[in-house]
Amino acid sequence: MHSPSSLVIVLLVFTAVLAAGCTQGTGPAAPATPFPVTGSSLQGLALKPSEVPACFTLTDQHTKSSGDVGQLAKDLGWQAGYEVMYTCPATGAEPTILVQSLAVYPAANMPGLASMVDKQDRSAGFSYEGLTFPGQGSTMNGFYGKAGSAGVPGSPEGTGHLTGTGRVPETNVLPGSDVAEVIFSKGTCFSVLKMTGPGTNATVIRDLALVAYRKLP
């Protein structure tokens, strides 16, 4: 027969084991890793030379600061930005230019931001058709615009003021050229991919946009 003292010891040990197990199981969860909001972190999300068609050469890449964006972007919560530019040699009068702009905004502002950029970046004088991305929901949309015989340069008041590209009409819509643009976001990361020039191709930019979208965290 077990003595009362032995039973007390066994119960104390059993209680201690249970307490240890509960402590381990209900401890604080590891904090979620927040999305980096620095331009240098966005650089890793941009399209790389190995991911674009062979004719394109990297001609510019730089981090954006708050001084590079307009007040509207700041009011919408702009936190960081990065831009990369690729150029394909001219097959005619002008080269074909591919620009990807990335920026960090509050996730709640993404739907309105995408709609705003889409409207601002459509210039008069172009006939547009939508670019759709089945399976991606409303997080990706775009357009392909064909220029008229005269061509109309794009407005420098478009994407630049929201993604930090500034006043660079030469990378928006070249006179007489077509334009294709895809706007997409995931979480707090917002991106615009734009192609202009004689080599503008809706199929190519659709494929590149999907590659870029899958890189977003």
pTM (two decimals): 0.73
Q: Supply the CATH number for residue 180's domain.
A: 3.40.1000.70
**Res 36: pLDDT:** 54
**Res 53: pLDDT:** 96
**Res 15: pLDDT:** 42
User: Considering the domain boundaries, does residue 27 fall inside one?
Assistant: no
List pLDDT tens digits, range 130-186.
998 887 766 899 999 988 644 444 433 345 545 543 333 333 444 557 999 999 999
Instruction: Order across the sheet with 126-131: list the strands.
Output: 57-64, 80-88, 96-104, 189-197, 178-186, 140-147, 126-131
Q: Which amino acid does the sequence have at 198? A: P
**Res 151: pLDDT:** 42
pLDDT at 101 over 90: yes
Contact 104, 78 (CB under 8 A): yes
pLDDT at 18 over 60: no
pLDDT band, residue 208 (cuts 50/70/90): very high
Domain count, the chain: 1
User: Considering the domain boundaries, does residue 24 fall inside one?
Assistant: no
Domain that holds residue 90: 39-215
At residue 12, the 3 state secondary structure works out as helix
For residue 77, is it left (φ>0), alpha (ψ between -120 and 50) or beta?
left
